[in-house]
Amino acid sequence: MATMSGQARDSDVVLAVEGLSIHYEMRTATVRAVDGVDFALRDNEVLGLAGESGSGKSTLALGILRLLRAPGRVVAGSVHFGATDLLALDEAALRELRWRQFAYIPQGSMSALNPVMRLQAQFADTLTAHGERMSRAAMHARFADVLQGVGLEADLLPRFPHELSGGMRQRVCIAMALLLGPRLIIADEPTSALDVISQRVVLETLAAARKAIDASMLLIGHDMALLAQVTDRLGIMYAGRLVEMGETGTLFRDARHPYSRRLIASVPDVRARGVLHSEAMDSEPQWPLDEPLREVAPGHFVRPWGGGDGL
């Protein structure tokens, strides 16, 4: 049987996650936020991870980035960035990789900008914190270049964050994430705090900027319509597990797992009135999650739930 982790040894894999489990261990209970997740992100690929609140998708991102805080803890599995075992790195080595090799764009990252520093000073900080030394003129040229990459002008550099709209601030954060030309971008709901128009502008910007530097991207979100727009492949998370993964087109056309089907069917389309079902499932259906993922077609993995077709 082909497994997804088997791909991890392919040379074009940028990020390989195998059997990753992350628990929040509290005095009275243990929450298995992420439970045996496997996937491989290929070079120059945009992989989406979709899930609703509590599915474990953000915890997964934090685990990969080694940004988990107690009581969250990786209890099993491995994360490889190229040939490097991320979970085994010491802090100094990790620091070398962060930003230079992989960048993180969290939800509402625009509020992480320092309100009392001009943008150029924050850009300069990012460079020096990661050991880049260059002349002022070279720095300015670099900043202007990354700002242009997100559709902004260099004349914003002397401005303060409050002088920019939310969408512009989020684009500044993207520019900052791309400042050192990372190979991997992990973006967790990068547009969720924005208005619809800014959301499209920011997501288009992020997609184009990623393409320009040939980076790979893990895009985490709950909005299936946004994920449909920009991802190559899509994984569906439910209760800490991947229940299905495949090409984005395949999943939207031919999702197999009942949870994936429900998630995709529930997204309203502004162009068409769908069928609304008022008969809700009062008790959330529970699907067995312990069977290993099965490859039902090349690259299309489904977790058997005891339904039809041997799944």
Q: Find where tokens 């270049």 sit.
A: 145
Which of 43, 223, 254, 295 forms a contact with another protein (CB under 8 A)? 223
Closest-CA residue to 307 (of 294, 288, 279, 292): 288
Separation CA 149–CA 307 (nearest Å): 48
Least distance from another protein to the Cβ atom of residue 128, Å: 27
- CB of residue 272 vs another protein: minimum separation in angstroms? 7
Q: Of the two residues 221 and 304, which places its CB atom closer to another protein in the complex?
A: 221
CA nearest 143: which of 129, 162, 160, 158?
Answer: 158
Among 273, 286, 290, 306, binds another protein (CB under 8 A): 273
Q: How far is the CB of 239 from another protein (least distance, A)?
A: 13
What are the distances in angstroms from CA 223 to CA 50, 87, 191, 272?
Answer: 7, 29, 10, 17
Encoded one letter per residue, x for contact with another protein by CB under 8 A and - for no contact, window 170-189 reads --------------------
Query: Binder to another protein among 27, 270, 298, 310 (CB under 8 A)?
Result: 270
Burial of 135: CB neighbours in 10 Å, binned 0-12, 13-18, 19+: exposed
Asked if residue 162 binds another protein (CB under 8 A), the reply is no
Instruction: Please report whether residue 31 would count as binding another protein according to CB under 8 A.
Output: no
DSSP string for 160-202: -GGGS-HHHHHHHHHHHHTTT--SEEEEESTTTTS-HHHHHHH
Decide if residue 121 touches another protein (CB under 8 A).
no
Could you say whether residue 164 binds another protein (CB under 8 A)?
yes
> Any contact of residue 116 with another protein (CB under 8 A)?
no
Q: Which two tokens stand for residue 12?
A: 């074009």
28 interacts with another protein by CB under 8 A: no
Site string for another protein, 138-157 (x = CB under 8 A): -------------x----x-
Q: How far is it, in rounded angstroms, from Cα 200 to Cα 190?
A: 11
In Å, how far are 17, 86, 97, 99, 104 from 92, measured between CA atoms? 22, 12, 9, 13, 18
Closer to another protein by Cβ: residue 82 or 160: 160
> For another protein, how many residues bind (rule: CB under 8 A)?
48
Contact region with another protein (CB under 8 A), list: 14-22, 24-32, 89-97, 263-271: 263-271
